[in-house]
């Protein structure tokens, strides 16, 4: 019995160093970012758009006019696919195709004249509504600032072209019981963007991207405006200087 106890104690003591070694094993380091080579990317997100102003050829046909509601677009979804190349640990670039979903638009103005005393007399209003969507083609370049614990902040810029579409535009004049509408129309514009965000290295090939972009989409216009009884047929409504603050969640997958 005594010999059995001594043997058991020796076996137990022999396992202590191995157990202690297991307790002090360093945790696995985060994946090392892959530098060089092609990658694929995909993004989803939301747009937050701004309108610089509206213009129509009949705006100057009245004495006075003012916008009670300057006009705005609702937020909308976006989705993008692209391919890129990681040149080194600091520099990468990609080209994307992005669809920006249809967003509703509304605005309100009033117009009138001045009487003999110079007092403003408001005659009627225009209640505008419609929708807008875009296809955006863009080439981007990014600078990866550095990597800490698998997290890489970056900044970037891009240039490209945006196909801006205005659809189901209406101008409802309630005081005069008038309604005008414009057909859908699309225009291509020069577009540019500024980017910032962080990438988190999940594996040696997969990166999750949390990004922000300020995008200048250029201008847009409706089709020609016609009254409901076809007595009025005028030029399109112009939407000037459309910009957007975009927030995106994306994935980048290295092919190397």
With the C-alpha atoms ordered 53, 55, 60, 61, is the resulting torsion angle positive or negative?
negative
Q: What is the mean pLDDT of the chain?
A: 88
What domains are defined for the chain?
2-254 (2.40.160.20)
For 138-154, give one letter per residue: b (16+ CB within 10 A) or e: bebbbebeeeeebebeb
> In the numeric block, which tokens belong to residue 176?
């005069």
**Distance (Å, rounded) from C-alpha 40 to C-alpha 54?**
39
**Distance (Å, rounded) from C-alpha 95 to C-alpha 19?**
52
Query: What does each C-alpha distance from 54 to 100, 128, 241 come to in angstroms?
Result: 21, 11, 9
Q: Which residue has the tokens 């200087």?
A: 241
Whole-number pLDDT of residue 90: 94
**Distance (Å, rounded) from C-alpha 168 to C-alpha 159?**
29
Reported as a single tens digit per residue, the pLDDT across 112-150 is 988 888 888 889 999 999 999 999 999 999 999 999 999
The answer to whether 73 touches 102, Cβ cutoff 8 Å, is no
Q: Which residues are within 8 A (CB) of 88 and not within 5 positions of it... i.e. 6 or more apart? A: 35, 36
Percent pLDDT > 90 in the chain is 70
Query: What does each C-alpha distance from 167 to 128, 136, 185 come to in angstroms?
Result: 12, 17, 7
Whether residue 74 has pLDDT greater than 90: yes
Whole-number pLDDT of residue 31: 55
Q: Which residues are within 8 A (CB) of 221 and not within 5 positions of it... i.e. 6 or more apart? A: 166, 185, 187, 236, 237, 238, 239
pTM, rounded to two decimals: 0.82
Q: How far is CA 28 from the centre of its chain?
A: 36
> In the numeric block, which tokens belong to residue 137?
């083609």
Whether residue 162 has pLDDT greater than 80: yes
Reported as a single tens digit per residue, the pLDDT across 218-248 is 999 999 999 888 878 899 999 999 999 999 9
């Amino acid at each position: 019995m005594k010999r059995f106890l001594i043997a058991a104690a020796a076996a137990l003591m022999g396992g202590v160093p191995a157990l202690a070694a297991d307790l002090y094993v360093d945790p696995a380091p985060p994946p090392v970012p892959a530098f060089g080579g092609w990658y694929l990317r995909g993004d989803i997100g939301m747009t937050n758009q701004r309108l610089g102003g509206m213009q129509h050829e009949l705006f100057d046909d009245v004495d006075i006019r003012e916008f009670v509601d300057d006009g705005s677009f609702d937020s909308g979804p976006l989705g993008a696919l692209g391919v890129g190349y990681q040149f080194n640990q600091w520099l990468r670039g990609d080209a994307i195709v992005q669809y920006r979903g249809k967003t509703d638009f509304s605005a309100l103005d009033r117009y009138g004249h001045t009487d003999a005393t110079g007092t403003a007399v408001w005659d009627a209003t225009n209640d505008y509504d419609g929708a807008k969507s875009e296809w955006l083609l863009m080439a981007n370049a990014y600078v990866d600032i550095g990597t800490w614990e698998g997290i890489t902040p970056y900044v970037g810029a891009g240039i490209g072209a945006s196909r801006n579409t205005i659809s189901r535009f209406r101008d409802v004049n309630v005081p005069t019981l008038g309604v005008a509408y414009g057909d859908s129309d699309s225009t291509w514009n020069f577009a540019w963007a500024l980017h910032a965000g962080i990438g988190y290295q999940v594996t040696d090939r997969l990166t999750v991207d949390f990004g922000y972009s300020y995008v200048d989409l250029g201008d847009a216009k409706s089709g020609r405006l016609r009254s409901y009884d076809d007595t009025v047929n005028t030029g399109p409504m112009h939407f000037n200087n459309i910009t957007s603050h975009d927030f995106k969640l994306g994935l980048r997958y290295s092919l190397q």
